[in-house]
Structure formats: C-alpha cells, structure tokens
Amino acid sequence: MIRQLRTGLLTASILALSSGAAFADYELNILHINDFHSRIESINKYDSTCSAEEEGKNECFGGVARLKTAIDQKRQELTGKNVLLLNGGDNFQGSLFYTTYKGAAEAEFLNLMKFDALTVGNHEFDDGEDGLATFLDKVTFPVISSNVLAGYKSKLVDRIKPSVVLDVGGQKIGIVGAVTNDTTEISSPGENILIGIDVDTISAAVQDLKKQGVNKIIALTHIGYPRELAVIAKIPDIDVVVGGHSHSLLSNTDAKAEGPYPSLADNPGGYKVPVVQAGSYSKYLGDLVVTFDDNGVVKSAKGDPILIDSKFKPDEAVVARVKEMAKPIDELKAKIIGKTDAAIDGSRDSCRTKECEMGDLVADAMLDRVKGQGVTIAITNGGGLRASIDAGDVSMGEAIAVLPFQNTVATLQIKGADISAALENGLSQIEQFGGRFPQVAGMKFSFDKSRPVGSRLSVVEVKEGEAYVPLDAGKTYNVVTNNFMRNGGDGYSVFKTKGENAYDYGPGLETVLADYLTANNPYKPTTDGRITEIAAATPAEPSTQTSTDPAVTTDAKPATAETATPETKPATPAATETKHVIVRGDTLWDLAKAVYGNGELWKTIASANGNPAPRHLEIGKELTIPAR
C-alpha cells in the first residue's frame, strides 16, 4: 500500500485536530556529500591537488580539513535541531592517498566527520571485495546498499545491509541504499558479488522499513541524477533522494547547475519527492531542510549546496594529520616530469563527448609506448581521465590524478569490423556523458549522435605511414588499450570476446603518461580533428515517454530533468550487412525500426542471429544486421 494510505491518515489527523489533539511538523536537516574520490587534500579549479601557492591566494576548495570545518560549523549552527550527515558513495580512487593507503585514509577522515550513513559507490569495488572489506573494518558508521548481494563465500556477506533505521530527535528515519546497476561492468566487484536491480531491491527494502513502523524514508543512492530523478524518486513511499555517481551540481544560484536544489519529482503516491546531489571532490556540502507532517509526508524542502572555499579555515589537527600521512608520498608527488605550455583539458564534459586534449595526450602516449611492437591504434575510455593539468611544471602527482585507477597498458589483435563495434559501444552513451566514450590515436572517425545507438559511427580511417586510409573490416589490427577495457569494461566486451593474443603489457598508464611528457618536454596541448561530430541533417524528435525499465542506467547529466533519452528518426535501410553490439535497452523491434524503418522486420535480424529472445538480449553480444 502506498502513499494513498498516508493521505487518508492525513484526513484523520485533521479531524483529530478539531477534537483538540495537536500534531507538530518534523524538520530534518540533511547535510551530504557524494563522489569524494579521495580528495584528502584541497583541490584547485581543475579538480587536482591545490598547490601551496594557490592556497596562499585563497584559490583552493574542499579537502578533508576544510570540509570538517564546514561540517562542524553547520552542526554548531543547527544545535538542538534534527541533523543527518550522509555520504552518496565513491569515496575511493582519485588521489595518491588512495593509491598509497587503499581506503584507510578515507575511512579515518570520514570517521572524524561522524557520518551517519554511507552508501556504496561503484569505485568502492575497484580493488575487488578485499578493498571494500578493509574499509568496512575501519569505519564507525553504517555502510548500506540494497542491491549489493554478497554470496556466502564473499568477505562482505552480511556486512552491507540494505537499509538502516536511525533515531533522530525521537523520530525513526529509514535510509535505504543502492549502487548503479552496471557496477559489475564499470568496476570489479568479483564473482562473489551480484548487483541487483536498483528499483526491485529498494522497493523491497522500503516495504521492510514500513513493517518496522518507519514513515520517513530516504533513498541514499549512487545511481546518477537522471535516473534518481526519473525513476528512484517514483518508487512508492520514498520521501527524499540523496544521490551521487553523476557528480551533479544542483543549485538555485550557480548558472552551471544541472538542475534546481532540490529537484522535485512526482511520486505516484501523489506527493513531491526532493532529489539532491552536491557536485563532487569535496567542493560542496549539500544542505537540505525537509519538513514532514505527522504522517511522514514531505510538506516542504529547501536549501542549496555550500561552496567549501577559503571562507572555511582548515581544521588544524586534520591538516597536521594529512601532512603526516603525506610524507611517504610527497617525494613521488613532487617529482617534476615535464612542462606544458598551456592547461590540458581533461574535464568530464569534454572527454566523455568529444575529442579532448587529455584524450589525445594519453592515447598518443599509449601508442608511443608500444609502437615498437607493431601496434598502430590506441583506444582508451574518456571516463578513465579524471583531472585536467594546469599550465607550467607537471608533477608525477598530477599525472596520477589524471589516471588514478592503476590501469595498465594492454595490447590485442582484432579485426576492423570489431574495432567499429567497439567504437559504436563507445558512442552509445553520449547523452548520458558515459565514461566509455573513445579517445583514440592512430585513427580518425566521425559520428552522428542523432542516429540510433549502434549506427552512429560514420567514416573510420586508420593511419598507415603518414596517410590515413579507410578501416578494413576484414583486416586484423594491433591495438593498445587499458586492461580494464581489454577485459570488457565500460561495455567493450568485443575486446574480450574477439580480441586475440591479448596481453596486459603494462606498465601503469600514469607511468606511461609521465614518461611521454618527459620525452616531449615542453608539451603543447592541442586537438587535431581525429574525432569529428557530424551535425544531424534532421533534428531528432523527442520522445513523449519516460523509461520505466529498471535496467536503464545513466552516469551523468540529463538533457532534461524528467524525460527519457530522445528517440531518433529511423536510419536509412542498410544496403550491406552491418554489425551491432547490444546495449542496455535494445530490443529486436527497436533495432529493426531503426535500421529498416519497420519494426515488424525484427524477424529478419532474429533469424540471422539464431533467434534470440527479442526483448531479452544479451548486453555486449554482437548482432549481424542483414541488408534489407
């Protein structure tokens, strides 16, 4: 039974009031962060570690010492009121502190800030379940996620609960967690961990909370703003969504915000659900005030994220502890590996949608490292690039901030047709700023994002000598990528299934980048047109439906707050046989409609591929699309 019951209770409460009974509203202050990504030290405008000089100019943001001050001050301001401090996940990965201490540093400082609950992010699994188990050994607050399903052999079994109930000011507050559905694809939880469908597991956890008499329920999720707004907030009896994963800054005052703070979604129970995120990298502290009526229905929600800038004096004890922990890595961080004539753009917005300066640099460095092995093409994922580099001297610490995941160079041999399939996969989530977007070297390609997923790739050329020639579908090419992608990460299953003579050559990408900058010192950042977007001839027609598929996941900014991905016009019927790599949400009907202009021709595709279940296709599998 959903919120209609609460409406009835509300009517009853009004009648009770007329008989002399008194009910008071309940106000809850929710402070929150998400996507901390090991920013133990303060950051600059490029989201990389702030220098002493920048600190002196008051140009730094965040970091644990400054963040603790902000939290302490806000708690002091709210003395006597109901306060929760929540963490939306992805605390691992992103700095030398994680590389060195593997979660112990993050655990220590999060404990100092006294979080009330944390949901698991996908990056918490980057070192498998062992890394997360060590973190759980150290933290002093609940870590929750309803869809992290640990098998009996797992070190996490019974350690991550679906939800937690906290007593805040005499009221029961239920908090249910969840992580993005594609965690097994974009991280490394291992064979003993299953990731359930967020909607199903959250719904079950909510029903359990209701049985315990809880009528105020917060979804603390690491799923991404688009899905949190369009899907999670619509789960019956969810009152508030505190999110993460898409690094979304929601604000009522910042012109660059992705949406208002809070963003409001219509729940089928007939009420509004506030949805919030607070950017990333400790730069903001979310500050939401929610007022519930006596039946647990949200009456109002207001607030805005707090910018953690120089107005907050870093906590001196925390500064001292950070310096102590930094000693083993200071020498490595300080080593100058080269110089750049200008800032190198490695921003999320650029590297996940188009050719970017950092993408060119890293792909060139990878290709240069293995060119003596006959490798001619480099493909790396834009989501693996995590920071920009400012102009001037470049340190090893900056190189690691760009490439923090300890991925290694991997090589393989693969046919041209499968390279095209890989690029199509990379282009399949542009609207969601998916991390799989391909940054390349030794090749050129153009794409049209208005076309259906699976048919966006246009001209592909590869470099032979000093010239570029068309990619030969039947020819085998030597390709360099990273070990994450070589093993099928970010949807590049074609590398795992079709790649031959695959070898994780090493070394780490951060070392490759450092060596390349040293060899090409000073470096001049640029883009050279190796990736080109083709302007659509006819604008795509927006869909009038929103997705209800619980398997749909996103990793970034929505085009609009509550609409599904735009539906594109059918493609020109295929004149020759083509290939398509299945992505989440594909059906044979939709593919036939996109390729042939007629969904009823789905059987043509089915018969060419062994008649798979038309609406239950295997993600990552390659389909043959016959000519019309």
What's the pLDDT tens digit per position in 309-337? 999 999 999 999 999 999 988 888 889 99
The average pLDDT across 73-91 equals: 98
| pLDDT, the chain, mean | 87
The pLDDT, as a whole number, for residue 620 is 60
Residue 567 confidence class, pLDDT cut points 50, 70, 90: very low
> One-letter amino acid identity for 298?
V
Banded pLDDT at 606 (limits 50, 70, 90): confident
Q: Is 414 helix (H, G, I), strand (E, B) or coil?
A: strand
pTM (two decimals): 0.68
Cβ-based neighbours of 162, under 8 Å, separated by 6 or more: 144, 145, 146, 176, 177, 201, 204, 205, 208
Strands (E), 490-571: 500-503, 531-533
Residue 13: what pLDDT? 37
Q: Residues 358-379: what's their mean pLDDT?
A: 96
Q: Hey, what are 59's tokens?
A: 């140009």
Residue 29: per-residue pLDDT: 98
Tell me how far apart the alpha carbons of residues 34 and 174 are, in angstroms, rounded to a whole number: 19
Q: Which of 364, 502, 513 is nearest to 441 (CA)?
A: 364
Residue 616 confidence class, pLDDT cut points 50, 70, 90: low
- Range 288-306 average pLDDT: 96
β partners of residue 275 = 241, 263
Is 557's pLDDT higher than 60?
Answer: no
Q: How confident is the model at residue 622 (pLDDT cuts 50, 70, 90)?
A: confident
Q: What pLDDT band is residue 560 in, cutting at 50, 70 and 90?
A: very low
| Average confidence (pLDDT) over 553-557 | 34
pLDDT of residue 379: 98
As a three-state string, the secondary structure of 243-263 is CCCCCCEECCCCCCCCECCCE
| Mean pLDDT on 539-553 | 35
Say what the pLDDT of residue 543 is: 37
What pLDDT shows up at residue 306?
Answer: 98
Residue 158's pLDDT is 95
Each residue of 387-441: pLDDT tens digit? 999 999 999 999 999 998 878 899 999 999 999 999 999 999 999 999 999 999 9
**Residue 104 confidence (pLDDT) above 80:** yes
pLDDT value of position 538: 43
Asked whether the predicted pLDDT for residue 89 surpasses 80, the reply is: yes
Digit-coded pLDDT (tens) for 429-486: 999 999 999 999 999 999 999 999 999 999 999 999 999 999 999 999 999 999 899 9
> What pLDDT sits at residue 444?
97
pLDDT of residue 46: 76
What's the whole-number mean pLDDT along residues 224-247? 96
Pairing between strand 377-381 and 438-441? antiparallel
Across residues 199-222, what is the average pLDDT? Answer: 98
Q: Does residue 556 carry a pLDDT above 90?
A: no
pLDDT of 607 over the 80 cut: no
**Residue whose C-alpha is closest to residue 278's, from 93, 95, 87:** 87
pLDDT score for 331? 82
What pLDDT does residue 602 have?
72
